[in-house]
Amino acid sequence: MKLTPCGWAFFVGPNRGGGRFKRETTTKYTPNMLRIAIQAKGRLNEQSTSLLAEAGIQVAESKRKLISRAEGFPLEVLYLRDDDIPQAVAMGVADLGIVGLNEVAEKGFNVEQLMDLGFGGCRISLAVPKGTAYEGPEFFQGKRIATSYPNILMRYFAERGIQAEIHRIEGSVEIAPAVGMSDAIFDIVSSGGTLISNGLVEVEKVFISEAVLIANPDLDADKRRECQQLTFRFNSILESRGMKYVLMNLPKERLQEAISILPGMRSPTVLPLAQEGWCSIHAVIAQELLWERIERLKEIGAEGILVLNLENMIR
Ligand code: PRT
Ligand code: ZN
């Protein structure tokens, strides 16, 4: 058992560069099996396990477990604090990780960023007390700023030649100005509700984040292949999100007009109907285009329009 600088204990299996494997902290351990680290509990846990489930991979609940074997794919799941996932992946304790891009950027470990996962969206912003005369980032010159993300903030200030006092604090960053600990904060914002309820105003959106899939850069060929299978499944799921499958009947003579309205994967599927002069069209439409396109299709005589959810889109 080894204790890392950030304080979590992890094991290094026999095929992972030596170290002792502490059996009582785990349920299963399979040498050389692809291993993914996900957040044990917190904002990203549920959506990480749901994404895996949508990809046909069932994982046990993280409660009281450090590691468990998934079903539906040769994969082990390691449950960690989000702060520790970039390091675990960089060191090869896990091959893959699902974590906020904010943690990847802050920790700066050498990991490969494979894909954005479309959840956990947030930003890290500078915020000042309401009523502060703010005219631009120069405001922060010489000011005290409380944050859990000092490295991202340091880079932002360095690019602008701003010298500020950055105070690293963990948790409840938003109360720092009210208790006189800082002049401003640099913290995660999602709806903005926390800032408002603490009398703060967001003045600079510095870093945009969402959950990402990261990988150890030195995966062997077998693991890289499995990893590609996994990203293929994830990509299919993400591509089908926000897409609808639409079926409708249309007079044949309006077909060309309908095709120009419908954005298909290649072109819409057209099937003959038993009724002379009519056909059925099937197409995939992005949710945001749906109603506008349906209105245009109705104008050219489309009838019996069905809109279905799309589970997966395999390209
Ligand atoms: O225990 P562990 O260390 O694993 O969890 P944690 O408490 O450090 O992290 P957690 O579960 O709160 O967040 C995990 C990840 O979710 C973050 O690293 C981000 O990538 C992402 N995420 C998305 C958020 C938010 N949205 C978010 N709103 N993380 C934190 N917040 C907090 C923020 O710190 C602030 O206190 O929510 C508050 C602001 O929210 P709004 O909606 O009021 O603006
Ligand atoms: Zn954390």
pLDDT in the model for residue 267: 73
Decide: residue 79, CB within 10 A, 0-12 exposed, 13-18 middle, 19+ buried.
buried
**Residue 97 in contact with ligand 1 by CB distance below 6 A:** no
pTM above 0.75, yes or no: yes
The CATH architecture annotation of domain 122-209 reads 3-Layer(aba) Sandwich (3.40)
pLDDT in the model for residue 62: 64
CB contact at 8 A, 96 and 213: yes
Q: Cα separations (Å) of 173 from 81, 128, 186, 187, 262? A: 19, 12, 8, 7, 49
Tokens of 307: 């809109």
Residue 256, phi then psi, degrees to nearest 5: -60, -40
Domain boundaries in the chain? 2-120+211-239, 122-209, 242-309
Mutate to test the pocket of ligand 1, among 41, 43, 191 (most ligand atoms within 8 A of CB): 43
Distance 138 CA to ligand 1 centre (A): 28
**Residue 190 in contact with ligand 1 by CB distance below 6 A:** yes
pLDDT in the model for residue 219: 97
pLDDT in the model for residue 264: 63
242-309, CATH topology level: Alpha-Beta Plaits (3.30.70)
Rounded to an integer, what distance in angstroms lies between the CA atom of residue 314 and that of residue 118? 18
**Residue 82 in contact with ligand 1 by CB distance below 6 A:** yes
Residue nearest to atom 1 of ligand 1 (CA): 81
**Which of the 8 DSSP states describes residue 120?**
S
The per-residue pLDDT for range 172-228, each reduced to its tens digit, is 999 999 999 999 999 999 999 999 999 999 999 999 999 999 999 999 999 999 999
pLDDT in the model for residue 61: 75
Using alpha carbons only, give the angle 90, 91, 93 rounded to the nearest 5 degrees.
110
Residue nearest to atom 19 of ligand 1 (CA): 100
Distance 210 CA to ligand 1 centre (A): 11
pLDDT in the model for residue 64: 67
Nearby residues of 30 by Cβ (< 8 Å), 6 or more positions away: 69, 76
Whether 2-120+211-239 shares its CATH topology with 122-209 is answered yes
Block means of pLDDT (10 residues each) for the chain, 315 residues, are 41 41 46 93 96 93 81 95 97 98 98 98 98 97 98 98 97 96 98 98 98 98 96 94 92 93 77 93 92 95 94 78
**Residue 246 in contact with ligand 1 by CB distance below 6 A:** no
For residue 281, the number of C-alpha atoms closer than 13 Å in the C-beta half-sphere is 30
CB contact at 8 A, 205 and 178: no
Q: Which listed CATH number (3.40.50.150, 3.90.280.10, 3.40.190.10, 3.40.50.2020) goes with 2-120+211-239?
A: 3.40.190.10
Placement of tokens 């959810």 in the chain: 309
**Residue 92 in contact with ligand 1 by CB distance below 6 A:** no
At position 9, the amino acid (one-letter code) is A
